[in-house]
Amino acid sequence: MSDLTRMTAAQLAGLIAGGETSAVEVARAHLDRIAAVDDRVHAFLHVDAEGALEAARAVDARRAAGEELGPLAGVPVGVKDVVTTRGVPTTAGSKILEGWRPPYDATIVERLRAAGTVMLGKTNMDEFAMGSSTEYSAYGPTNNPWDLGRIPGGSGGGSAAALAAYEAPLTIGTDTGGSIRQPGAVTGTVGAKPTYGGTSRYGLIAFSSSLDTPGPCARTVEDAALLHAVIAGHDPRDSTSIPAPVPPVVEAARLGATGDLTGVKLGLVTQFAGEGAEPGVMAAFRDAVDALTKLGAEIVEVSCPNFEYALPAYYLIAPSECSSNLARFDGVRFGLRVGDDGAKSLEEVMSITRDAGFGPEVKRRIMLGTYALSSGYYDAYYGQAQKVRTLITRDFTAAFEQVDALISPTTPFVAFPFGARTSDPYQMYLADLYTIPTNLYGGPAISVPCGLSEGLPVGLQVMAPTMADDRMYRVASALESAVGTLTPPAL
């Protein structure tokens, strides 16, 4: 049998269901691959080999007993370390949660288990999902399999790199400002941010509650859709979860794979016309637009005038919410506690713990958010940012009256070398320039590989109206059928 780690999730599920291989063999192959390459890639923070094999054996037993298996039964999956997994360490990439084993599974993890997927372990990320390179992981960065000296994107760099390194066929990411899509783009993989509320946040360690969205990462659009269908759907434990059926994403991905986009109208955002983007990225994007035209799509330009305020608005809203969400990490009930020598006051111990446990980017955002919410500044910062958010939503609504979906490069630049953007936070923040508006609006968006620039992957983003997640899968799948998937150099 050819290398199991090179197969898509759909292929693996088919082989397991057909008895051509077992879930245990598939799990072993991936665990072996992790053992072989992860010291160079560092996509995983924790590998749960025992748990994975146990889950795989259970799938094999169910198959042997003649039970009907779900579409992803036996397929390995990596889970971003910001999602709680019962009994399995969950750190959110932070020292402050080192060693914490949650007593409960996130809803999406419950759904992954119920579907018979096999969890390999927890993937690396920027601390608390704040960053675009994994350089802010407290446990060291993940290296991009395309070039180990470059960043894999962030915050979900571990989830993306695990795919590109063939350590896992599927991974879970979370997207607050682009943390699924930008890593997908720079690693040549597929990353989808569902509609906010389409996937449950219960068990997702909150960074910015009104923006955080868990979603699927895969090497193909169809695989992403299959994973999307497993984790999505209403969850009564998340008040912001949408009580509506999951859009038909898998069907849409298969429809798109036929390569026909006749009658589909796509919008190019005037404000994303390439200012600040690398020429190679824009060239690959333009080629992809030509490919989409050849597939029958009609391309028009759409102006979204408020998108230029998206980045500043995001950097008020997300830090504000984070300053409150991260208050609970105080050393009292769980995780790290430093300085509790019996001589210090509770307040001192909390302060010392937080100082020791949080990294520089997290501290920066807590301070930004604390300031923005302060009495006397609230209206000027948080209040104003919320108004911008409303205007951006209006831009999207108006755009979707003209077109079925919007397209753009996913991120202005290809994977950059480590250290290139850490000295100036703003340079790092620009990585999310094209992805952030969608988070503020709440709609779905997907990044799909569209070509190379200087030998490094470039991603194209498809943005769709809220709860029209199927639309983006169709377009992304069609593009994939035209340009193919990208294969990184051997490690």
The set of catalytic residues is 80, 155, 179
Q: Are 483 and 449 in contact (CB under 8 A)?
A: yes
Q: Least distance from C-beta 432 to another protein, angstroms?
A: 19
Out of 11, 303, 324, 384, the only residue in the binding site for another protein (CB under 8 A) is 324
The DSSP-derived string for 99-152 is T---SS--HHHHHHHHTT-EEEEEE--SGGG--SSSTT-TT-PPPBTTBTTB--
Torsion of CA 427, 432, 433, 435, to 10 degrees: 180
332 touches another protein (CB under 8 A): yes
- The β-bridge relationship of strands 76-80 and 44-47 is unpaired
Nearer to another protein, 237 or 294 (CB): 237
Interface segment toward another protein; rule CB under 8 A; list 56-64, 203-211, 279-287, 407-415 = 203-211
Amino acid at site 84:
T
Nearer to another protein, 211 or 268 (CB): 211
As a whole number of angstroms, the distance between CA 193 and CA 71 comes to: 21
The residues with which 217 forms a beta bridge, in sequence order, are: 171, 191
346 touches another protein (CB under 8 A): yes
As a whole number of angstroms, the distance between CA 174 and CA 176 comes to: 7
203 touches another protein (CB under 8 A): yes
Out of 102, 141, 152, 153, the only residue in the binding site for another protein (CB under 8 A) is 102
Interface segment toward another protein; rule CB under 8 A; list 159-167, 216-224, 369-377, 431-439 = 369-377
The 8-class DSSP code of residue 380 comes to I
Q: Least distance from C-beta 81 to another protein, angstroms?
A: 11
Nearer to another protein, 210 or 427 (CB): 210
Q: Least distance from C-beta 208 to another protein, angstroms?
A: 8
Out of 50, 65, 66, 103, the only residue in the binding site for another protein (CB under 8 A) is 103
SS3 (DSSP) at 381? helix
Nearer to another protein, 371 or 418 (CB): 371
As a whole number of angstroms, the distance between CA 58 and CA 213 comes to: 30
Interface segment toward another protein; rule CB under 8 A; list 82-90, 130-138, 142-150, 478-486 = 82-90
As a whole number of angstroms, the distance between CA 16 and CA 136 comes to: 38
Q: Are 261 and 482 in contact (CB under 8 A)?
A: no
Q: Least distance from C-beta 347 to another protein, angstroms?
A: 7
Nearer to another protein, 298 or 340 (CB): 340
Q: Are 422 and 360 in contact (CB under 8 A)?
A: no
83 touches another protein (CB under 8 A): yes
Q: Which residue has the tokens 């899509």?
A: 181
Nearer to another protein, 21 or 107 (CB): 107
- Retrieve residue 44's tokens: 């995983």
Q: Could you tell me which of 209, 188, 197 has the C-alpha nearest to residue 146? A: 188
387 touches another protein (CB under 8 A): no
390 touches another protein (CB under 8 A): no
92 touches another protein (CB under 8 A): yes
122 touches another protein (CB under 8 A): no
As a whole number of angstroms, the distance between CA 13 and CA 219 comes to: 15
Q: Least distance from C-beta 50 to another protein, angstroms?
A: 23
Window 205-244: contact mask with another protein (x via CB under 8 A):
xx-xxx-------------------------xxxxx----
321 touches another protein (CB under 8 A): yes
CA 219 from centroid of its chain's CA atoms: 13
Amino acid at site 222:
E
Per-residue burial over 85-118, b if 16 or more Cβ lie within 10 Å, else e, is beebbbbbbbbbbeebebeebbbbbbbbbebbbb
Which residues make Cβ contacts (< 8 Å) with residue 273, sequence separation at least 6? none
As a whole number of angstroms, the distance between CA 252 and CA 256 comes to: 6
Nearer to another protein, 40 or 104 (CB): 104
Window 135-174: contact mask with another protein (x via CB under 8 A):
----------------------------------------
Maximum CA pair distance of the chain? Answer: 72
Out of 123, 142, 199, 323, the only residue in the binding site for another protein (CB under 8 A) is 323
As a whole number of angstroms, the distance between CA 63 and CA 73 comes to: 9
Nearer to another protein, 378 or 398 (CB): 378
Q: Least distance from C-beta 72 to another protein, angstroms?
A: 23
Nearer to another protein, 154 or 203 (CB): 203
61 touches another protein (CB under 8 A): no
The residues with which 445 forms a beta bridge, in sequence order, are: 193, 463
How many other C-beta atoms lie within 10 A of the C-beta of residue 342? 5
Q: Least distance from C-beta 84 to another protein, angstroms?
A: 4
104 touches another protein (CB under 8 A): yes
347 touches another protein (CB under 8 A): yes
398 touches another protein (CB under 8 A): no
Binding site for another protein (CB under 8 A): 83-84, 90, 92, 97, 100, 102-104, 106, 201-206, 208-210, 236-240, 320-321, 323-324, 327-330, 332-334, 342, 346-347, 350, 370, 373-375, 378, 382
